Copies of this chain bind each other. A is one copy, B any other.
Amino acid sequence: MFTQINSNKVYTQIIDQIKESIARGELKKGDRLPSERVMSEQLGVSRATVREAIRSLEIMGLVECVQGEGNFIANNLENTLVEPVSMMFILNQGKIREINELRRALELEAIKLATARMAPLGLKKLEELCRIMETSPEEAARAEADKQFHYEIAKASENGLIMNILNAAATLIELQIKDVRQKIFANEKSNDSTNTQHRQVLEAIREKDADKAACAMQTHMDHISKFIEAYKESENH
């Protein structure tokens, strides 16, 4: 009967215009937006309204605002979804279990894809990271290598979406439990089994056996989340 009337708040339209401009390729990563004063003039709206639109994009990590310099399309989109996901998670009173399950889903898909798409150079990096985790005397270095190991796999999946959300999930876990690795492995011989698991993942990738790799990763994830949930549990008591 009647067509839905879309309120079309002005700031929404501005955001849409910026989005379209990006989609059309007029704005690319790192590009500078026109100054707020110029934009407000071009769009025929007040500067305050332009700022509300830009602010939203900034919080989402799509725009970087530098005082005295200008507003830029973000170069690095890696942390784009951390804020939104974390907010949504808090507001939903989410459980750590949910993040673990999400992470497992993505790691499993990522490694399947990565196994097919991994380049020799990536394999070499994974090899090196395994070595560091096994031999480095400093926990900090081992922890960093651990992160990198999973990051390399995500990268090799050649899927920006999965990579991004995976990063958000990992960050969210860190937010919930500071220094996860330290707390889990500090008083554990568990380090050895973790290293073994990483090795098995690496070997499976090398053999281009996606199912085997996924299986190895699944074991690894189960191992980790068992500790995380146990830790979180003990914290609440």
Point out residues on A near B: beta carbons under 8 Å.
Answer: 7, 11, 15, 19, 22-23, 29, 48, 51-53, 55-62, 67, 73-74, 77, 80-81, 83-85, 87-92, 94, 97-99, 101-102, 104-106, 108-110, 113, 157, 159-162, 164-165
A94: chain B residues at CB < 8 Å are: 160-161
Per CB-CB distance, the 4 closest pairs between chain A and chain B, nearest first, are A105-B109, A56-B59, A84-B84, A52-B55
In the bound complex, residues from chain B placing their C-beta under 8 Å from that of A80 are: 84, 87-88, 91
Copy count, this protein chain: 2
The answer to whether B22 touches A162, judged by C-beta atoms less than 8 angstroms apart, is no
Given contacts A102-B161, A105-B109, A165-B165, contact A62 B91 (CB under 8 A): yes
Cβ contacts A to B, 27 pairs, < 8 Å: A7-B67, A11-B55, A15-B59, A19-B87, A23-B90, A48-B51, A53-B55, A60-B83, A62-B88, A73-B91, A74-B91, A77-B92, A80-B91, A81-B85, A85-B161, A88-B164, A89-B161, A92-B161, A94-B160, A98-B159, A98-B161, A101-B109, A101-B157, A102-B106, A102-B109, A104-B109, A105-B105
| Least Cβ–Cβ distance between A173 and chain B, in angstroms | 12
**In the complex, what distance in Å separates the CA atom of A101 from the CA atom of B165?**
13
Q: Considering only CB atoms, which chain B residue lies closest to A60 in the complex?
A: B84
**Please, which residues of chain B bring their CB within 8 A of the CB of A102?**
106, 109, 159, 161-162, 165
- Given A62-B87, A89-B160, A94-B161, 4 additional A-B pairs, CB 8 A: A48-B48, A60-B84, A81-B85, A85-B165
Residues of chain B within 8 A (CB-CB) of A11 are 55
Task: Identify the closest chain B residue to A58 (Cβ).
Answer: B56
Cβ of B109 and Cβ of A91 under 8 Å apart? Answer: no
Chain B hits for A55, CB < 8 A: 11, 52-53, 55-56
Contact A98/B160 with A77-B91, A91-B77 known, Cβ cut-off 8 Å: yes
Are B81 and A101 interface neighbours, CB within 8 A? no
Q: Which residues of B lie under 8 Å from residue A58 when comparing CB positions? A: 56
> Considering only CB atoms, which chain B residue lies closest to A109 in the complex?
B105
Specify the chain B residue showing the minimal Cβ separation from A20.
Answer: B90
Minimal Cβ-Cβ distance residue in B for A102: B161
